[in-house]
Amino acid sequence: NAGVTQTPKFQVLKTGQSMTLQCAQDMNHEYMSWYRQDPGMGLRLIHYSVGAGITDQGEVPNGYNVSRSTTEDFPLRLLSAAPSQTSVYFCASCWGGGGTYEQYFGPGTRLTVT
Amino acid sequence: AQSVTQLGSHVSVSEGALVLLRCNYSSSVPPYLFWYVQYPNQGLQLLLKYTTGATLVKGINGFEAEFKKSETSFHLTKPSAHMSDAAEYFCAVSLYTSGTYKYIFGTGTRLKVLA
């Protein structure tokens, strides 16, 4: 199993550009989530999904969209990039609906917005 | 609001010394509790978790944590630090809210191990 994969590993955007961060998992996990990691702030939840067709907002959803058309894929879209979105983004997946199960993390995408 | 607090953003210990990383949570209902480790330029990986049952939980690499409900704490310990333990450690809780589970992470503690 590849686990959780994320592409790209690095990305530089100009302010106002849009892009999609890709996330895929091959473990048949129902629960998937996106986090951003900033120095001194830990991981903050952006959006999450408890199954195909079901998504919900986390702590910092503004400026980001998600969709979940399949169990495997959970892309994160930046609508109009801003310097405040410079961060490291992690996708994670989890068995079932979450709760007692641990999350499996991808290797991250390092995004810089200039 | 539910939260997770990790005391000390940076902790330094000598090789062979005790490691103690602190985590407190605020929740009206005992949550499920996790510790993750992040090595440089990598994603997070699970060290250990508490769900139910025995309050002393053992994890990988010699780490353990004790759930203390009265203190709302879940501190991480290791009797003897090794150089390879240098990493960032995150405490997290899983809380049932609005019909689903959400994971909330602390701000992390960076552990430095001195030779």
Measure B87 CA to nearest chain A CA, in Å: 14
Three-state DSSP state, A92: strand
Q: How far is A15 from chain B (nearest CA, A)?
A: 25
Check: CB of residue B2 under 8 Å from CB of residue B10: no
Helix, coil or strand: residue B28: coil
Report CA A50 to chain centroid distance, whole Å: 14
User: In chain B, what residues touch A56 (CB-CB under 8 Å)?
Assistant: 100
Task: Mark out chain B residues that contact chain A at CB-CB < 8 A.
Answer: 6, 9, 32, 34, 36, 41-46, 49, 51-52, 90, 94, 96, 100-108
As to burial, measured by CB atoms within 10 angstroms (0-12 exposed, 13-18 middle, 19+ buried), residue A39 is: exposed
Q: What is the distance in angstroms between the Cα of A112 and the nearest Cα belonging to chain B? A: 15
SS3 at position A55: strand
Which residues in chain B come in under a pLDDT of 70? 1-2
Helix/strand/coil for B87: strand
pLDDT tens digits, A90-102: 999 998 777 888 9
pLDDT of residue B27: 77
* Residue whose pair of structure tokens reads 């199993």 in the numeric block: A1
By three-state DSSP, how is residue A18 classified? coil
Instruction: Give counts: helices (H), strands (E), chain B.
Output: 0, 12
Structure tokens at B73: 């704490």
- Reported as type and span, the H/E element at residue B33 is strand B32-38
Q: What is the structure's pLDDT at A34?
A: 97
Interface touch A105/B9, C-beta < 8 Å: no
| Bridge partners for A111 per DSSP | A11, A87
Cβ of B100 within 8 Å of Cβ of A97? The answer is yes
Share of chain A above pLDDT 90, in %: 87
| Interfacial A residues in 2-21 facing B (CB < 8 Å) | 4
Give the chain B residue whose CA is nearest to the CA of A4. Answer: B43
DSSP assigned state of B47: E
pLDDT of residue B1: 61
For residue range A14-44, list pLDDT tens digits in order: 999 999 999 999 999 999 999 999 988 889 9
HEC sequence for A28-83: CCCEEEEEEEECCCEEEEEEEEEECCEEEECCCCCCEEECCCCCCECCEEECCCCH
Angle at B56 (CA atoms; ends B51, B59), nearest 5 degrees:
80
Question: With pLDDT > 70 as the criterion, what percentage of chain A qualifies?
Answer: 100
Contacts with B30 (C-beta within 8 Å, 6 or more apart), sequence order: B67, B69
